[in-house]
Structure 1
Amino acid sequence: MAYLYLFVAIITEIVGSSMLKMSEGFSKLLPSIGAIIGYSISFYLLSLTLKELPIGMTYAIWAGLGTALTAIIGILFWKEGFSLQTVVGIVAIILGVTVLNMPKWT
């Protein structure tokens, strides 16, 4: 169940970030409310995830995948810049999350 909570926490964080972009500095009411609700749900589900999974691994997955997917959404929906640097950054995030979740190298 913890991984389901984590997956939904990532999705709601991405929704919250998109709403934050749409709120234009909290100057638009509905997207501002959407951002607050998205982040609130995300943090609540993240707290439930932490009851079962280690904080380091959980936060790495939540923050890493949230950042990578938000960057991809920015490219696809907000027409934000796309370059080799963007690709390298997203790949580095995914590799970092993967390495943090590998068994210990002892």
Structure 2
Amino acid sequence: MLRFIFVLAMIFCISTISYSKVFDKKKCDEVLKKYDVSYQSWNNILNKLMSERKKIEDKKKANIENNETIKKLNTNINRLYNEFGSAMRVHEIRMNTFANSYNAFCK
């Protein structure tokens, strides 16, 4: 019975050691640097979308009578939203990767 308890204790200790998280300063710095670059690129895309949308809305107000111009402007707005949606999905994947990496190396 004592051997059985000893073996269980050893298995528990080994499994605890193998699943413990290890703080790795170098990896942590790499993860944070990648997050910073990703966040800045995301911000650039968002700022571009907002400025382009404002320009297009101003053009729409100026050309109320011309339906063909309005259709082109609506197409441009839709294109920008599609680009924004794609960038958002990529950013979401990057943030999930960042969260997993941060939990693995920085906590």
**Normalising by structure 1, what TM-score?**
0.38
Higher Rg of the two aligned structures: 2
TM-score, normalised to structure 2, is: 0.37
